[in-house]
Amino acid sequence: VDVKQRKTDIGPPHYKNFLPPVIQKNYGDWKTHEILSPGLMVHIANSGDKIWTVRVASPRLLSTDTLRDIADIAEKYCGGYFRFTTRNNVEFLVSDESKVNPLLDELKAKKYMIGGIGSRVSNIVHTQGWIHCHSAAVDASALVKALMDEFADYFTTKETPNKVRFAVACCTNMCGAVHCSDIAFVGIHRKLPRIDHDNFKNLCELPTTMAACPTAAITPDPAKKSIKINAEKCMYCGNCFSVCPALPIADPENDGVAIVVGGKVGNLRKPPMFSKLAVAYLPNTPPRWPEVIKATRKIFDAYVAGAKKHERVGEWIERIGWEKFFAVTGLPFTFQHIDDWTYAFKTFRTTTQFKW
Ligand code: SF4
Ligand code: SF4
């Protein structure tokens, strides 16, 4: 073997290698697109070439069998091309118009949920939950299932004033897009980490553990060769547990869900917006989280009834005012909203220019 010729670090392959030939040919030279039905759109290039996108929902954590099935469907109708969107929708990319309807028929027959394009609910981006992550305060996938069952008709058929992006993150480390989604859910712990002093000295590094705390709540406890936590400073984020397994924080009685609203990534009409606190705490009630679903319904229905066409949730709230948001949703305004203890600043009105 010629060692000099041997490539050991090939890095990620170039993304263009994965584009369907029609997209490669017309790269950067597209004229328009049209939404033909809730789960079907067509892009038209200046050359006249077209590519159809068929979108289906996915639960994100997919079995090998489902992935094989998706790949087989893509082989059959799309020359093998499909993609996952950032919110875990599966998009089949069809270059041959005659294959669009047979693809839709097979997806319907196999009970894939088709939709999510345009002004409606998209698939729900979320995080690992109880299956994979050590610091989860809520089970992301199970809560997503409960939410998606509740709002499925707004994915498949019904319209909303603009896109409604849901997101679920199972702790405040927030691997999901909670800060920039229209209606989002974040798992929260509400009790101090429990310090396992015996194991601390064997399992954890003092400097790393102290450095992991964003509020400097952790200080050394030399007598015990362990640490102390200042309860006044701790915000129950669980970051210390991420680096030190001797500081477990999960608590079945007290963990739960906060709801934040009004974030967006897009730059249309208004710059990107951060989500702000709507509900400070709801209990963990698996498998269907009825309290969370009920509160979400209030927010969602008030938005659908009150927003103007094209207004995202955050734009609607800013127009009517946060005071009115709590009035029309019927959600209680609590002391936690005042300093917005989960994330954002300026939850409440902070400017003298505010107008009703
Ligand atoms: Fe783990 Fe928190 Fe990320 Fe969920 S959000 S996957 S609990 S770090
Ligand atoms: Fe610090 Fe967060 Fe650990 Fe509390 S839970 S001690 S704030 S790292």
Q: What is the complex's ipTM, to 2 decimals?
A: 0.97
> Which bound ligand lies closest to the C-alpha atom of 249?
2
Which residue CA neighbors atom 8 of ligand 2 most closely?
Answer: 213
Tell me whether the CATH fold assigned to 8-109 matches the one assigned to 197-243. yes
Q: Is the CB of 234 under 6 A from ligand 2?
A: yes
Name which residue sits closest to atom 6 of ligand 1, judged by CA.
128
DSSP-based three-state secondary structure for 82 = strand
Q: Whose CA is nearest to atom 4 of ligand 2?
A: 234
3-state secondary structure of 47: coil
Which residue owns the Cα nearest ligand 1 atom 1?
A: 133
Spatial contact of 215 and 235, defined as CB atoms under 8 Å apart: yes
Using DSSP bridges, classify how beta strands 82-84 and 50-56 pair: parallel, antiparallel or unpaired: unpaired
Probe target for ligand 1 pocket from 126, 174, 179, with the most ligand atoms within 8 Å of CB: 174
Protein residue closest via CA to atom 4 of ligand 1: 170
Residue 154 three-state SS: helix
pLDDT of amino acid 339: 59
User: Two tokens at 153?
Assistant: 């008709």
User: Bridge-partner residues for 32, per DSSP?
Assistant: 44
215 pocket-lining for ligand 2 (C-beta < 6 Å):
yes
* pLDDT tens for each residue of the chain, 356 residues long: 566 777 777 788 888 989 999 999 999 999 999 999 999 999 999 999 999 999 999 988 899 999 999 999 999 999 999 999 999 999 999 999 999 999 999 999 999 999 999 999 999 999 988 888 888 999 999 999 999 999 999 999 999 999 999 999 999 888 878 889 999 999 999 999 999 999 999 999 999 999 999 989 999 999 999 999 999 999 899 999 999 999 999 999 999 999 999 999 988 888 899 898 999 999 999 999 999 999 999 999 999 999 999 999 999 999 999 889 999 999 999 888 875 544 444 444 444 454 54
Q: Which ligand is nearest to the CA of 210?
A: 2
Which ligand 1 atom is the nearest neighbour of the CA of 174? Answer: 5
Helix, strand, coil tally for the chain in percent (to 5): 35, 20, 45
pLDDT of residue 1: 58
Give the domain 8-109 fold: Alpha-Beta Plaits (3.30.70)
Number of Cβ atoms within 10 Å of the Cβ of 253: 9
Residues 6 or more apart whose CB falls under 8 angstroms from that of 160 comprise 119, 120, 121, 154, 303, 304
pLDDT at residue 314, rounded to an integer: 95
Q: What is the pLDDT of residue 343?
A: 45
Which of 50, 48, 69 shows the shortest CA–CA distance to 58?
69
- Structure-derived torsion over alpha carbons of residues 288, 290, 291, 296, reported in degrees to the nearest 10: 90
What six digits make up the tokens of 171?
């702790």
pTM for the whole structure: 0.89
Q: Sign of the C-alpha dihedral, residues 220, 221, 227, 228? A: negative
Alpha helices in the chain (DSSP H): 21-25, 64-78, 100-109, 129-132, 140-151, 153-156, 197-203, 206-212, 239-243, 290-306, 313-320, 322-329, 335-339
- What pLDDT is stored for residue 128 in this prediction? 86
Amino acid at 354: F
106 Cβ neighbours under 8 A, 6+ residues apart? 73, 76, 77
- Residue 299 CB less than 6 A away from ligand 1: no
How far is C-alpha 53 from the geometric centre of its chain's CA atoms? 22
pLDDT for the residue 356: 46
**Rounded Cα–Cα distance for residues 301 and 313 (Å):** 11
CA of 264 to the centre of ligand 1 (A): 21
186 CA to centre of ligand 1 in angstroms: 10
Domain boundaries, the chain: 8-109, 125-190+252-339, 197-243
pLDDT of residue 134: 86
Ligand 1 contact via 307 beta carbon (within 6 Å):
no
CB 172 within 8 A of CB 190: no
What is the rounded distance in angstroms from the CA atom of residue 64 to the CA atom of residue 116?
24
Atom of ligand 1 nearest to the CA of 133: 1
**Residue 158's pLDDT is what?**
97
**Ligand 2 atom having least distance to the Cα of 229:** 6
Cα distances (Å, whole numbers) of residue 226 to 193, 203, 217, 235, 249: 13, 11, 14, 20, 17
Enter the CATH code of domain 125-190+252-339.
3.30.413.10
User: From ligand 2's centre to the CA of 47, what distance in Å?
Assistant: 57
Q: Any idea which ligand is nearest the CA of 234?
A: 2
CATH class in words for 197-243:
alpha beta
- Give 227 Cα–ligand 2 centroid separation in angstroms: 12
Burial status of residue 312 (CB atoms within 10 A of its CB: 0-12, 13-18, 19 or more): buried
Query: What are the tokens at 209?
Result: 């553990």
- pLDDT (0 to 100) of residue 31: 98
